[in-house]
């Protein structure tokens, strides 16, 4: 029996499920936003 994925692997597996598409889009946009804002603030 394969061990259940953990951490980022589990997150990526959940993100690939079609029923989670809206969550995946929102999470990706939010992640981009946080990183971009940090970059812009710290310039």
Partner 1 sequence: MSGAEPGPIGRISRFFFWALFGYWSLYVLVAPVTNIDSQMYDIARLSLAMKGGLFTSPYFTSVFQVMWPWTFDAVHLPFFELGWACALPSFCCLAGTCYVVFVMTRARLGADAAWVALVALLSLPCLIYQGTSTKNDIPLLFAGAVWVYGRWRWKHDNRGLHLFWMVFALGFMAGAKTTGVLYAGILALAMLVELRSDPRLALRVAGGLACSALLLGSLETYVESARLFGHPLGPPEVIGQLSNPDGARGAAANFSRYVAGSLYEGPTTTHSASRAADAVASAEQRFLAATGLTNAGYDHRFGDGTLMFFQSGLEELSGFGPMGTLAMLTTLAACVAWRPKAVWWQLAAAATAGFALVSLNVGYSAWGNRYLISWYALGTLALVCLLWERETPARTILRKGFAALAIAGAVAAPLLSFNRGPGSILASLRDRERFETCSYPLIGKVRDRLRALRRETPGSTVYYVACNDSLVLPIAEDASLDAVLVTPPGFADLAERGVLRKGDLVIEDYDTRSPLLVKVDEVTAPDIFSGRGTRTQAIYRIR
Residues that bind partner 1 (CB under 8 A): 19, 21-23, 25-30, 32-34, 36-37, 39-43
The alpha-carbon radius of gyration of the chain (Å, integer) is 14
CB of 21 to partner 1, least distance (A): 5
DSSP annotation of 4: P
CB of 28 to partner 1, least distance (A): 8
What's the 3-state SS for 6-41? CHHHHHHHHHHCHHHHHHHHHHHHHHHHHHHHHHHH
Nearer to partner 1 by C-beta: 1 or 19?
19
CB of 26 to partner 1, least distance (A): 5
């Amino acid at each position: 029996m394969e061990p259940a994925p953990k951490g980022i692997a589990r997150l990526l597996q959940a993100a690939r499920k079609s029923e989670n598409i809206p969550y995946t889009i929102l999470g990706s946009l939010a992640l981009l936003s946080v990183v971009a804002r940090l970059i812009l603030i710290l310039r």
